[in-house]
Amino acid sequence: MSDDKDQLEEVLDKARQFVKTDSYPMSIGEIVNMYENGEIVLRPEYQ
């Protein structure tokens, strides 16, 4: 069981190096409007 855990941790460590993100510049007002219009659902349990 320990070998499986070690292998999984190794795979995850390698995968973390390849995380890609995109950015999209938005103003606070745009974000607030999206929230008020129901376009953004905040789920604090995931933050």
The residue ranges of every structural domain in the chain are 3-46
For the chain, what is the radius of gyration of the CA atoms?
18
Find, among 42, 46, 21, the residue nearest to 31 by Cα. Answer: 42
> How far is the C-alpha of 31 from the C-alpha of 7, rounded, in Å?
41
> How far is the C-alpha of 4 from the C-alpha of 12, rounded, in Å?
12
Q: At 47, is the pLDDT very low, low, confident or very high (cuts 50, 70, 90)?
A: low
* pLDDT tens digits, one per residue of 2-38: 888 999 999 988 888 887 788 889 999 999 999 999 9
Q: Tokens at residue 21, please?
A: 């993100």
Q: At 44, is the pLDDT very low, low, confident or very high (cuts 50, 70, 90)?
A: confident
Q: Look at residue 11 and give its three-state secondary structure.
A: helix
Higher pLDDT: 5 or 1? It is 5
Tell me phi and psi for residue 36, to 5 degrees. Answer: -65, -30
Overall pTM surpassing 0.85 (yes/no)? no
